[in-house]
Amino acid sequence: MKKLLVSALLLIAACKKDDTTVNQPGYDGKWYIHQVINKEYTIENGDTAFTRFDVINRPGTDYIDFQINGQGKGDAVMLWDNSSSTRPYEAVTHAFFKLDTTLCEITHLTDSSFQFNSIHFDGVTIPDRVKVTQNFFILGR
């Protein structure tokens, strides 16, 4: 529970943004989705209970195209199962960005490999529990 609390505080601190622009590392452009890992669990009195753990391997045709301007904002176009959607993108820090309203953390970045995850806390849906949803994206050029 302490680790989760520290993580939550770090995410909140990362969300605090001043008026300066943040230039992100060079991951703009098209990244093909190799794998997505979806985790969902609840936390109650320090105990964690997983309710979902899905590993989705993609065929290599689905992608996320980050179209970022010089001020660290733009759009992310996602193609998934031949369905396209566009979400607003905004850099928060060098390690965090917002995709639509979801905060994402960059965990690995090279010229050919990019990994990030998103996390969402919901303390309302299940009384006396915190529901956590995490999505891990493994991308490549």
Domain ranges in the chain are: 2-17+26-140
- Mean pLDDT across the stretch 96-118? 94
Q: What is the pLDDT of residues 67-103, one digit of tens each?
A: 998 888 999 999 999 999 999 999 999 899 999 989 9
85 vs 12: which has the higher pLDDT:
85
pLDDT of residue 120 exceeding 70, the answer is yes
pLDDT of residue 107 exceeding 50, the answer is yes
Report yes or no: 50 and 38 within 8 Å, Cβ to Cβ. Answer: no
Look at 2-6, 18-22, 134-138 and tell me which has the smallest mean pLDDT.
2-6
H-only helix segments in the chain: 2-15
CA distance 82 to 45: 42
Report yes or no: 54 and 62 within 8 Å, Cβ to Cβ. Answer: no
Place of tokens 């031949």: 82
According to the model, what pLDDT value does residue 21 have? 59
According to the model, what pLDDT value does residue 84 have? 96
User: Which residue, among 25, 16, 33, has the nearest Cα to 68 in the 3D structure?
Assistant: 25
Q: What is the pLDDT of residues 25-77, one digit of tens each?
A: 578 999 999 999 999 999 888 888 988 999 999 988 999 999 998 888 999 99
- Mean pLDDT across the stretch 16-28? 61
Query: Which listed CATH number (2.40.128, 2.40.50, 2.60.40, 3.40.50) goes with 2-17+26-140?
Result: 2.40.128
